[in-house]
Amino acid sequence: MTEQPTRRLLLVHAHPDDESINNGATMARYAAEGAQVTLVTCTLGERGEVIPPGLAHLGGAALGQHRLGELRAAMSALGVDDVRLLGGPGRFADSGMMGLADNDDPGCFWQADVDEAAALLLDVIREVRPQVLVTYDPDGGYGHPDHIQAHRVATRAAALAAEAGCPIARTYWNRLPRPVAAAAFARLDQDLPGLPFPEAATVDDLPGVVDDERIAVEITADGTPYAAAKAAAMRAHATQIEVAEPYFALSNHLAQPLFTTEYYELVGAPAPAARATDLFAGIEEAS
């Protein structure tokens, strides 16, 4: 039997591309360092808006399959080889944006029974035995139903794992410090005339922006191969993301910064006086 890596990281995301935008540099770093990095994606993003005109014909199941291919290419760029769809590909459909009729589809993730979906994630946790879980905050970062549901399912699965004797030592939420976001957008305003995007987003458009003091861990990839890997992974999600480093845009064509330093809030405990630079700090030897 192959011995498990000492450090084991589980990330739970809603759609293909969320992982690269939020955690690409983090995933690349830990994969390169020999940690077990497991990504669980809850839907195939079948209702995503397609950017390239040449792919505009894709929709529904065809788009989902195409995005699965993009996900695999992105994970190859990050060096991550353990990628799973919750319950298998197509088990839960993309729910669309909040307030749309798509939310009522009985097969969409938003309508899934949380305990049932959490039990599927618990199977992964039992196998992988992660010490660290990364997912969204209760609002899903920005209110998307699949992101909110991913938070609920991940949180419930972590509770079930504790009851089952395979507790997860730490859970983190994806975050972005407000001063960092403000400084990045100030640079963007200066650079916008030279970019292929007509307008810029705003700080308020970004998910997970919080005050500085809530940040517990900062993973810095600036000037490292992990930053380039993140950009490459984002480019792999070509239906959803247009990259013009150090910026990118989604289907709304609004430019926003591509952050190669990633930030995390520790759940259930106050942030330390000094930010850690390792999600596993102090728990590397945990079983």
| Residues tagged in the binding site annotation for Zn(2+) | 15, 18, 147
> Binding site: residue ranges?
15, 18, 147
Q: How far apart are CA 92 and CA 45, in angstroms?
A: 10
Peptide bond into 246 cis (omega under 30): yes
155: which 2 tokens?
């949180």
**Number of CB atoms found within 10 A of residue 8's CB:** 21
Residue 215 near residue 270 (C-beta atoms within 8 A): no
| Length reported for the chain | 287
CA distances 71 to 74, 82, 113, 171, 232, Å, are: 5, 12, 25, 24, 12
Q: How far is CA 195 from the centre of its chain?
A: 25
Specify the DSSP class assigned to residue 108.
Answer: B
